[in-house]
Amino acid sequence: MRMLDIIRVRSFEFEGKFFDRVPVFCYYIRMPRLVSRIVTFAFVASLAACSTVGTPGVKNTSKTFNTVVVDAGHGGKDSGAYRRSGPPEKIVTLDVAQRLERKLRESQIKTVMTRDSDVFIPLNNRVARENAQKDAIFVSIHFNDSRRRGTRGFETYYHSGASFDLAARIQQKLMTIPNSANGGVHAANFRVLRLANCPAVLVECGYLSNRSEGNQARDWEYRELLADRIAEAIVEHRYGTGVYRASAQVAQTQQPEPAITGGTGQAPGTVRH
């Protein structure tokens, strides 16, 4: 019997985002065709089962939370996505996160920031901060990047089943921004989501690599609008529709809400920062 070990690296950690995750060892063994088919079928079935099993240890506080951990992606030596046409991702994520934090406090929701200045916070420290809170949810703010300059749109990610409804509501609210593109709601294995003990989502607020969305990210009024829509989703998810009051400068920019849509598969194959 001959055996050949082939190591395939399925993903990696780069610039602060963790793409799951370990080398996979594939064994090719000579065996009767029927046995080979049975083994292949069982392996595929096990992968499907892994993608639908709920995450143990996650407390579903999506309807009872009193604290929101607001995470501004990247920071310090980790600039995230960077384009000549605008500031690095770490700057705009911090700005949106600070605006979001202020709006949540104005709505009488307690907040905790993983960072409130341009400093580097390791992923494990962010996880520790989110898991230290009781009756909380976690919302991480990012902007996206792709080699394909035409790629655009909002995307919201989750890991546990307890986080899906929150992710879908945030995506729905972002889609009320005029001329927005729907990148969908997706399951992902980012460390800050995978290791969370509470509902946790990661919001990609558009592509800095796209000329239109990159230019919008430079506009403070647009960043205010992003924060407002995310805050509205969080407040309404906790207290119900009609409770949130938008700030005056963004109250006139809303369009009808689309139906909640989006796949529950893995993250699309764009270039991540």
pLDDT tens digit sequence for 214-243: 999 999 999 999 999 999 999 999 999 999
The pLDDT of 126-136, averaged and rounded, is: 97
Count the neighbouring beta carbons within 10 Å of the beta carbon of residue 71: 26
d(CA 213, CA 103): 23
Do the Cβ atoms of 197 and 60 come closer than 8 Å? no
Q: What is the CA radius of gyration of the chain?
A: 20
Is residue 265 scored above 70 in pLDDT? Answer: no
Mean pLDDT of all residues in the chain? 80
Q: Which two tokens stand for residue 231?
A: 């805050």
Task: Please tell me the distance from the alpha carbon of residue 199 to that of residue 161, in angstroms, as a whole number.
Answer: 8
The confidence score (pLDDT) of residue 47 equals 39
For 28, the token pair is: 């090719």
Q: β-strand 182-187 against 110-113: which pairing, if any?
A: unpaired
So what CATH class is 67-250?
A: alpha beta
- Dist CA 130 CA 146 (whole Å): 29
**Rounded to an integer, what distance in angstroms lies between the CA atom of residue 181 and that of residue 171?**
10
Cβ contact 154:174 at 8 Å: yes
Task: Give the least confident one: 79-83, 163-167, 247-251.
Answer: 247-251
Q: List the chain domain ranges.
A: 3-52, 67-250
Handedness of CA 152, 196, 162, 228 (dihedral sign): negative
